[in-house]
């Protein structure tokens, strides 16, 4: 999903709240944030330096793509993402597999995730190749109604004063939304519970060790599945996250 709009419209806050809603729904689906300045080592994975220096072991340290497997990979300000990282994401998102060869390691692991991006179109254009990877796009506009804006501020202040009490007060509404998400998934053919299998991010397929032949991820496989959530619903979760 791609959400473009003005600053301060709670795009990032809503995505962060998604993780809590999924937990209420009993779905083990991580929501991982990819920072704009992330290195390719952090995204793809690399040699575990601590294991190498302290224990003398050659071990793979999984990156953000592995953490996001079977879940969501969120990119804030996606239109400002470095072109090199965009190419990496396109390769892995199209195949559902991340193949890393570097530092004498050759590792392949599954990387199926749903891309979620947000940004302000006034700050830069989104590459068409990356835009095609988003199955749903929405435009978020600044709320102009004065009463609604006052209610947003009131709830944000209430959360800041007592986060636990605020979440408890809205728990019933959040649980009801989570139940609707579960019901919608049950109606989709071929959907599963969202639980990770033994081939999740902790299961690695390592080939024989050999010198690194490049620093880019390249792989072949099947397209990653698309998860569709019910649209048109808002939850108090969006106000319970951190403000932008």
pLDDT of residue 146: 94
In this structure, the dihedral spanned by the alpha carbons of residues 13, 61, 63 and 8, taken in order and rounded to 10 degrees, is 30
pLDDT of residue 169: 94
Of 150 and 220, more confident: 150
Tokens at 18, concatenated? 């998604």
Note down the domain range covering 29: 2-240
In tens, the pLDDT along 74-104 reads: 999 999 988 888 888 888 988 999 998 887 8
- Contact between 74 and 117 under an 8 Å Cβ cutoff? The reply is yes
Q: How far is CA 189 from the centre of its chain?
A: 23
Angle at 216 between CA 114 and CA 126, to 5 degrees: 50
Number of domains in the chain: 1
Q: Where would I find the H helices in 145-236?
A: 146-161, 163-169, 171-187
Of 10 and 162, more confident: 162
Tokens at 100, concatenated? 């890393």
Q: Where would I find the H helices in 112-170?
A: 128-131, 146-161, 163-169
Task: Name the pTM for this structure.
Answer: 0.71
Mean per-residue pLDDT, 151-167: 94
Angle at 199 between CA 197 and CA 202, to 5 degrees: 100
The answer to whether residue 191 scores a pLDDT higher than 80 is: no
| pLDDT band with cut points at 50, 70 and 90 for residue 197 | very low
Number of residues that make up the chain = 244
| pLDDT band with cut points at 50, 70 and 90 for residue 150 | very high
Tokens at 84, concatenated? 């090199």
Of 180 and 200, more confident: 180
Give me the sign of the Cα torsion angle 175, 176, 179, 180: negative
Closest to 71 in 3D by CA, of 11, 2, 15: 15
Mean per-residue pLDDT, 197-206: 42
- Contact between 105 and 206 under an 8 Å Cβ cutoff? The reply is yes
The answer to whether residue 17 scores a pLDDT higher than 80 is: yes
Q: Under DSSP, is residue 164 helix (H, G, I), strand (E, B) or coil?
A: helix
Tokens at 167, concatenated? 């979440």
Residue whose structure tokens are 């609707």: 180
The answer to whether residue 15 scores a pLDDT higher than 80 is: yes
- For residue 149, the domain's CATH number is 3.40.50.300
Mean per-residue pLDDT, 126-143: 87
- Contact between 12 and 118 under an 8 Å Cβ cutoff? The reply is yes
Angle at 1 between CA 80 and CA 23, to 5 degrees: 110
pLDDT of residue 18: 87
The answer to whether residue 224 scores a pLDDT higher than 60 is: no
pLDDT of residue 215: 40
């Amino acid at each position: 999903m791609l959400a473009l709009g003005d600053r301060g419209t709670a795009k990032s806050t809503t995505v962060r709240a998604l993780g809590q809603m999924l937990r209420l729904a009993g779905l083990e689906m991580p929501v991982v944030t990819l920072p704009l300045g992330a290195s390719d080592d952090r995204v793809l994975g690399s040699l575990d330096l601590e294991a190498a220096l302290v224990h003398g072991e050659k071990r793979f340290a999984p990156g953000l793509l592995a953490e996001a497997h079977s879940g969501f990979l969120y990119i804030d300000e996606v239109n400002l993402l470095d072109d090199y990282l965009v190419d990496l994401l396109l390769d892995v998102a199209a195949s559902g597999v991340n193949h890393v060869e570097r530092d004498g390691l050759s590792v392949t692991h599954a990387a199926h995730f749903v891309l979620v991006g947000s940004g302000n179109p006034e700050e830069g254009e989104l590459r068409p190749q990356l835009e095609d990877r988003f199955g749903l796009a929405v435009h978020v506009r600044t709320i102009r109604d004065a009463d609604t804006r006052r209610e947003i501020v009131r709830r944000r202040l209430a959360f800041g004063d007592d986060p636990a009490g605020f979440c408890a007060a809205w728990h019933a509404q959040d649980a009801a939304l989570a139940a609707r998400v579960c019901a919608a998934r049950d109606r989709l053919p071929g959907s599963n519970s969202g639980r990770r299998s033994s081939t999740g991010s902790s299961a690695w397929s390592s080939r024989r060790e050999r010198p690194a032949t490049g620093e880019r991820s390249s792989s072949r496989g099947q397209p990653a599945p698309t998860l569709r959530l019910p649209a048109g619903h808002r939850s108090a979760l969006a106000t319970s996250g951190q403000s932008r």
